Each structure stands twice: as C-alpha cells, then as structure tokens.
Amino acid sequence: MAKKTKGQELQEQLTWAFPHIGKDKPEQAEKAFKYCEGYKKFLDAGKTERECVKEAVKMLKKAGYKPFDSRESYEPGDKVYYVNRGKSLIATTFGKKPLDQGLRINGAHIDSPRLDLKPNPLYEKEDIAFLKTHYYGGIRKYQWGTIPLAMHGVVVKKDGETVEISIGEDEKEPVFCVTDLLPHLAAKQNERPLKDGLKGEELNIVVGSLPFQDEEVKEPVKLLALSLLNEKYGITEKDFFRAEIEMVPAVKARDVGFDTSMIGAYGQDDRVCAYTALTAEIDAKKPAHTTVTILADKEEIGSAGNTGLNSDFVLHYIEDLAEQAGVSPREVMRKSLCLSSDVNAAFDPSFPDVYEGRNTSYISKGCVLTKYTGARGKSGSNDASAETMAKVIAIMEEEGVYWQAGELGAVDVGGGGTIAQFVAHMDVDTVDLGVPILSMHSPFELASKLDVYNTYKAFKAFYK
C-alpha cells in the first residue's frame, strides 16, 4: 500500500462525510431487519392517533408500566404512563439522579395526514352515496384519488356509549375510494396546476350504489348505506355530529425493494419516531435521568388543541413530577434535554433540485439530526444551540450510533415545523432527531430499516 501524502493525511483528519451503513457496517442489517418486524406490526395496528395510544398502552402494560398517580412516590426503575384524552400519551422511567438535575424528554407525534369526515358527511348524488371530507394536515390532494381507503374512528352515541369503527383493514371487508377522471375526458382537468389536480371539495368518498328497496323513499342509496352502518354499529346520521372518523389508506406495511431494505407504509411520519421512542423507553431500566416519552397529537396542524404540544399537558405532567420530588419545576425544565423526534425529507434523486446536497439527509446513512426547521429564514423553528448539538452528538457517538445532519429542503424552496419550538418554549434545550423519509406525507412513505434501527439506538443511548 502506497504511503499517504501529507495532504491525504490532513484531508483524512480535517474533512468529514457521513458513511453509508450498508457499506460501513453490513452486519447491522440483520438486527435492523429483525427490529423492524415489530415496527411494521405497530404501523398496521395504529392507523390513527387513538389506535396508536391503545397499542402503546398494550406494550407498556406488558412491560410492567402502571398508570401514573401524582399522590404516589416512585423509586429509580419504576415505570408509569399517563393517557391524555385517549389521543396522546406520556411514559416515564424514573432515574437514579434527582429530578432537579433534569429530565430526558423525547417527543414524537402519532397523528398523520389523512381525510377526515365532515360533521354532516353522507349524501347521495345520481344514485351514488358519498362521504364529504376535509383533509387533515399537509397532503398532495391528487395522491388520494383512486386508492383504497379504510374508515377508522369513534362515535359517541346519544346514550353515552362510545362505538369504535374500523372498516377496510380486513381483506374480507369492503374499502372506499375517491374517484378521478379517465384520461380520455381529462383535457380540461389536465390544465389545472398540480396542486389542484383534485380539489378539496372533490375528495368525496364513494360508499355505496345500491338502493334501499322502497319506492316511496327519497335518496334510497344513502338510506341503504345508513341502514348498514346502523345494523353494524347502531348509529344514525345524527351521530356523525358526535364522531371523529378518519379515512386512511387501506394498505399494510410492506418490505420494499429486491433486498427488502426499506419499509413502505402509511403514517411513518411520525409513527416511526413514536415506535422507536416507545421501544427505547421500554428498554430503559434504571436510567441516570428520569425519562419523559411523549406521543403527541395534532402536530400536523400546528400542535393545536389540548392533546397537542402547543398546550400545557406536558408542562402539567412535569409539574406533577416536580411536586412529588419536592423540587422546582422551573429548575427541572432548565436542566432538561429534549429530542423532538420527527422525520426529515430524505434526498430523492428523481427530484434533486429541491435539496441542497451538502445539507440534506440520505437513505441508510442513519438517523438525521436537524438543527433547525422552519421556513422563510427559519421562521417557526427552534434552532438548537451549539451546546445542545454537542451534547446529543456526544451521546450518539459514544454508543456507536450512525447519524447524519440535514435540513428540510433548500433555502427558499419550502420548509416545515415540528414540536421542538413548543418544548423549547418551556425553557428546555431541544433539538430535532428522527428518520429520513422518502415520499413524506404521501399515502405510502418509504423508510430505510437501517435508519429506523439507528434511530432506536440513538433514543436508547439518550435514555442510558
């Protein structure tokens, strides 16, 4: 082997490029593939935030977690959880260090873009029954036409009974869909901008075409659809006003590629971080710092409402912890460190112009550390400090975690936000860390199994 020149040695010492895990450590693939089998099951079981909470509670109870009681006292290693209105969740493992030395907070979100039913959704037109929708979160509307959709949700009936609805996940059940024009008749539609290929009020879901057999009935197709719903769930049209019903892709999580190296599924933004955070939380035994793992709702619409992070439910939980320990909650938060666990956009070679190659994340190079998000000059961003970046990078490198850095697209192209700004608002050092995703916010997103596994490793190291 030829001796390295002084320049080559200096280049090796001073420059840096993030390695591809498959090239640098191919033996890690077996562990990553095995880990992701549980992740795929989690995705299939949790198509909505309520279902994710239910699945998370099952996992936590199995691991020995108990409901949090603010009147109790806890010892290092004790594990508790708190459910907020069935749509968000906090899990904690009590640490060895006093609470006033800070928490290790990890916040992911479990809501995903979808089509929500309007409060008065069911109608009939030209012998077809439809449901009206209002899209939730940032979607590309044209992607939601002509794909199989499943109906998920809850209805609170007049007598107070809560009915859970799930239609379309079992292969024996029907699915639903939004129609689109055939190319032969779409000349005028083709002139629309892509964002208006399907307009919001065209996202109407076909639910039936057979009439109720009664010549005296108006809108017989609508009536038959209602009667079938009533037969199965005991609900009436008025019950839609007391319901939360979501239409989501009726697809299962699948391996993607000849090498099965990727996962394709709906809702990986951000359930991939929710699952990796949850499993890291469960695997924490007697951590140094007390953990606070958050699975939050409403991130896709600005973390609004009392189940989103732009509310005080996490603050109140931390205040309860501080009160139990007899310390100041301000001191606890001031000493805490948070990972805002959210995905970032992986570089897509088919669309290179929207990325800045030196500062974007890539498939199979590890979890992505995102110093800032936001748009238009970092607006709406947390923008982590150098000290926070140094702490998190040191934690990962000490445990051999593959990580990379990235932005959400090129400057002036777009941008986005996470829960980071809301946690930082509580006087907590915060930075974004998560999985790079291809086709983000689409009905079928892609993630590398190696990246998923290294995100789990990062969270596990964070909680050590």
pLDDT in tens, 284-311: 999 999 999 999 999 999 999 999 999 9
Residue 234 shares a structural domain with residue 271: no
The total of other beta-carbon atoms located within 10 Å of residue 128's CB is 15
- At residue 444, the pLDDT reads 98
Residue 27 shares a structural domain with residue 136: no
Strands 104-109 and 291-296: parallel
- At residue 432, the pLDDT reads 96
Residue 222, domain CATH:
2.30.250.10
Residue 276 shares a structural domain with residue 398: yes
Residue 88 shares a structural domain with residue 100: yes
- At residue 374, the pLDDT reads 87
Residue 101 shares a structural domain with residue 119: no
CB 355 within 8 A of CB 409: yes
pLDDT (tens digit, 0 to 9) for every residue of the chain, 464 residues total? 678 899 999 998 999 899 999 999 999 999 999 999 999 999 999 999 999 999 999 999 999 999 999 999 999 999 999 999 999 999 999 999 999 999 999 999 999 999 999 999 999 999 999 999 999 999 999 999 999 999 999 999 999 999 999 999 999 999 999 999 999 999 999 999 999 999 999 999 999 999 999 988 899 999 999 999 999 999 999 999 999 999 999 999 999 999 999 999 999 998 999 999 999 999 999 999 999 999 999 999 999 999 999 999 999 999 999 999 999 999 999 999 999 999 999 999 999 999 999 999 999 999 999 999 988 889 888 899 999 999 999 999 999 999 999 999 999 898 888 999 999 999 999 999 999 999 999 999 999 999 999 999 999 999 99
Please count the structural domains in the chain: 2
Residue 272 shares a structural domain with residue 305: yes
Q: Does 414 fall in a domain?
A: yes
Q: What Cα–Cα distance (Å) separates residue 30 from each residue in 25, 263, 400? A: 11, 15, 17
Residue 292 shares a structural domain with residue 206: no
Residue 281 shares a structural domain with residue 423: yes
- At residue 435, the pLDDT reads 98
Residue 85 shares a structural domain with residue 170: no
Residue 289 shares a structural domain with residue 408: yes
- At residue 85, the pLDDT reads 96
The residue out of 249, 281, 302 marking a domain boundary is 249
Share of the chain above pLDDT 90, in %: 94
The residue out of 224, 249, 274 marking a domain boundary is 249
Residue 375, domain CATH:
3.40.630.10
Q: Does 4 fall in a domain?
A: no
Residue 289 shares a structural domain with residue 391: yes
Q: What is the pTM of this model?
A: 0.96
Q: Does 256 fall in a domain?
A: no
Q: Does 454 fall in a domain?
A: yes
**Domain encompassing residue 240:** 114-249
Residue 381 shares a structural domain with residue 451: yes
Q: Does 258 fall in a domain?
A: no
Please tell me the distance from the alpha carbon of residue 244 to that of residue 160, in angstroms, as a whole number.
15
The residue out of 222, 249, 276 marking a domain boundary is 249
Q: Does 338 fall in a domain?
A: yes
Q: Does 70 fall in a domain?
A: yes
Q: Does 2 fall in a domain?
A: no
